[in-house]
Chains A and B, each alone.
Chain A
Amino acid sequence: MTPLIAVDGLVKRYGPHVALAGVSFAVEPGEIVGLLGPNGAGKSTTLGVLATLLAFDAGSVVVGGHALPDAGAAARAVLGLVPQQIAVYPTLSAHENLRYFARVLGLRGEDATRRIADVLDVVGLAPRADEPVLRLSGGMRRRLNLACGIVHDPRVVLLDEPVVGVDPQSRERVFEAIETLARGGAAVLYSTHQMDEAERLCARVVLLDHGRVVASGAPATLVAGAGMTPVVRLRTARPLPTTWLDGIPGTRIADVAGVETAVAVADAASVPAVLAAALATGIDVLDMTLHRPSLADAFFALTGRALRDDDGPGAAP
């Protein structure tokens, strides 16, 4: 299958600063790919290049089968950009915003009317469609922001942290809308630094750091590839004896700090046994949490940086 987004060796410089240093990835039709990385990793620059907003210095970029930058106009006809910023007109209604974007995105007449109605339903804004955006909640505006980017049913969808600051209900609606697009055959590139979003939505992720792809693949594969296991954290009334976990297969003490004990387990199925062993010491267990290894952990393991680092050297200007 020909990918709708194909990036190979993409290099983008801002003066002496290299924002993207040979980024390569592809997104197939119907695929939702997460573009992950801390702020400054190059996510927005990558999306900017794909959206034809930014020129690039080297590499090849193909969007919807159109090679950039020469076929930028053709590429723009097939892509839908959902920027991180809520880029709508605040004094216009949701319907007016959608109608405007539908027309500048090439929709006409009945087609536009139908698509506007559809997308309003998808994002759940139909009841508030005629209210000025200023009166909508932040989550509603986020959904409208998404709707404006997908109203023309694009083959390529570029999402730049589309659910920042969105309430869970709105976020789920946004996710559902994105999944609907993907099911329709669109190639979705979802930029975020929220691992849970990527894990929830993306079949595949691309981890960026300092303008480079540090890893890519299915989230579980990446986590597994980083050699990470779930960790059970216990807080007890008194410190546990050193031998309390002996004899429980697939477990090991990962860390002890007074009454706080971290136990690495091979899988979640071992958690009841760990709890039982702790209780068997006669010491009260005050709290217990299970921490599954995440993409963030994997990213940290791979880069030594947290995904929420904001001041990395790769921050785009």
Chain B
Amino acid sequence: MLAGLGAAFAKDLRLLARDRVGLVFLTLAPIVVITVAGLSLANLYGATPHGASAPVLPVVDDDGDWIGRAVRERLVDERSVRARTVATPAEASALVRAGAASAALVIPRGTSAAVVAGQPGALELLTDPVRTVDVAWVRALAQEVRHALESAALERAQQELDAARGDADDARARLAAATTELRTRIATLHDRVAAASARAETARRELAGAVAERQAAARTRIVAELAPLRSFLAELAAARAAFDRWAADVRERAGRFADRFPPPPEPPAVPPEVAALAASDPATLAARLVPADGGLPPLPAFPSFEVPAVPSLALPAPPAGRLPGSLAIVETSVTGAPLRFNTFDQNVPGFSVTFLLLGVLLGVSLGLLDERDWGTLERMRATPTPLSVLLIAKLAARFAVGIVQMLLLFVVGWAVFGVSLGPEPWALALPTAGIVFAGTAFGLVVAGTTRSREAVLPIGSIAILTMAAVGGCWWPLDLEPEWMRRAALAFPTTWAMQAYNDLMIRRQTSGAVLQETAVLFAYGALYLAVGLFLFRRVRASRR
């Protein structure tokens, strides 16, 4: 039986090897479709790894200032778009209208100045909304750029505010130091003034003493000096009175002749000052001669002043408030997948699975129909080798071919498109074996439900294309509505793509795909049981 199995297995491989169309279908066709689809759908994932498929983004820098520079510099390294500087908004708009770009970015004149001045600024997007995906991507990118600029501006403003606050703190410290020094100096001045005041008081007292001494000495001396004067004047007055009494006595005695007497000569009059001097009080005179201030200009009283106290400086601390922080969106891949991944990481397994299913499903079903049409199947039933062995051999051959096909496509994907094979490339064999098994067994189901090649092609194609499309082989499963995603669980393709995404995109290890692999094998076992049942029923109906 094993020999028969081996012979049938080898025969099926030989049949496939002679089928050039089939070989092209299994290898070249998927590579072509993967390439075309990968490049066509690249923008769903932010363009190809090298950015060759990225949409053109015309950029108009009317600003010419730091915002314009920052935007252009940011876009230079962005692989999801190909930024092209154009001169005017009109030119950019024309490119969008002509379909050369889905959107254009305009940095209006004065944007930087407005923002610096605290005025609102705006980045303008000129879009063709019909090109939804590209526009959404550019819009998101513009938001990202805007957010980056705002964050940078906020950060810069915060730095400036922090610097100003530092300067204020320094000034405050310096003022406090100066105040302290002022207080010190005022205190010193106060001490000095007090000392000076004390010295002045002492000097005044010494001066008053000296004046009093001098006044006493002057009085003494004046008294002494005025005594002869006073004696003379007294004698003079007495002499004058005596003369007057004589003259009066003469005249009285001259009687009528008294008129004839010439007036006696007048003795010189005592100058009033002399008289006043002689009559003045020596103390007064001494006080007049020796003023109490010693003859010096009167010393002003040392002003009594209070050295004003330097008020304590209760300088308010610089405001502690900060600029509102920027609300960043920090995206963290919690599944291990890179935030932007190679579009072919999705397309290589997706279209490989599609063509795998086409290969194994049509290969099994059409292979069995070929055997029926050639008469070999009927002939084999008359041999000692059980038909089940032949079926198993055919399924095994297709399984082996499917494995090799997937291996080849993954290698091509890795070598040509740079797809990730995950941390454990060997783990790709798990879902691959599962989906190849399920697809191969499903081929038996199709063979059991169809009677002709004409029936296999539409039924098989509809089944495969539905499973591939709904199962996320052509586009991410997340693009589908929730109900369809739930429905997709009924298809092995869904589980296969989940496993491939886990391994290739989310970079998980083999343990993460054991469940998907088990489900795939369960589907395969179910299909195999149903297929064998249908096949036997068909055979029985012909007996």
Contact = CB atoms under 8 A, between A and B. Distances in A.
Interface stretch (B4-12, B210-218, B329-337, B499-507): B4-12
Contacts of B382: 51-53, 76, 79, 81, 158
A259 interface: no
B260 interface: no
Contacts of B376: 87-89
Given A53-B543, A87-B378, A77 B15 contact: no
B396 to A, nearest CB: 15
B19 interface: yes
Contacts of A105: 383-385
A92 B8 CA distance: 13
A104 B15 contact: no
B15 A92 contact: yes
B543 A90 contact: no
Contacts of A96: 11, 14
A40 interface: no
Contact of B3 (A55, A73, A108): A108
Interface string B234-277: 00000000000000000000000000000000000000000000
B375 interface: yes
A104 B18 contact: no
B379 interface: yes
Main secondary structure on B side of the interface with A:
helix
B19 A73 contact: no
Interface residues of A, number: 32
A54 interface: yes
Contacts of A90: 374
Interface in A87-127: 87-92, 96, 99-101, 103-106, 108
A302 B10 CA distance: 51
A180 interface: no
Contacts of A77: 384
A83 B379 contact: yes
B53 to A, nearest CB: 41
A73 B4 CA distance: 14
A85 interface: yes
B489 interface: no
Contact of B11 (A52, A53, A55, A100): A100
A52 B374 CA distance: 19
Interface in A132-174: 132, 148-149, 158
Contacts of B74: none
Contact of A76 (B11, B14, B15, B383): B383
A91 B22 CA distance: 13
Nearest to A85: B375
Contact of A91 (B4, B15, B543): B15
A76 B380 CA distance: 10
Given A103-B7, A104-B8, A87 B375 contact: yes
Most buried by A among B7, B376, B382: B382
Contact of A53 (B6, B378, B386, B390): B378
Contact of A103 (B3, B15, B379): B3
Interface string A60-78: 0000000000000100110
Nearest to B385: A104
Contacts of A81: 379, 382
Interface in B366-409: 374-376, 378-386, 390
Contacts of B380: 104
A104 B3 CA distance: 7
Contacts of B15: 89, 91-92
A282 to B, nearest CB: 61
A100 B386 CA distance: 14
Contacts of A76: 382-384
Given A53-B543, A92-B11, A86 B384 contact: no
B1 to A, nearest CB: 10
Contacts of A85: 374-375, 378
Contact of A87 (B3, B4, B8, B374): B374
Interface of A: 51-55, 73, 76-77, 79, 81, 83, 85-92, 96, 99-101, 103-106, 108, 132, 148-149, 158
Interface of B: 3-4, 6-8, 10-11, 14-15, 18-19, 374-376, 378-386, 390, 543
26 contacts: A51-B381, A52-B382, A53-B382, A54-B543, A73-B384, A76-B382, A76-B383, A77-B384, A83-B375, A83-B378, A83-B379, A85-B378, A86-B375, A89-B11, A89-B15, A89-B376, A92-B14, A99-B7, A101-B379, A103-B4, A104-B8, A104-B383, A104-B384, A104-B385, A106-B384, A149-B379
The 4 closest A-B CB pairs, nearest first, are: A87-B375, A103-B7, A85-B375, A91-B18
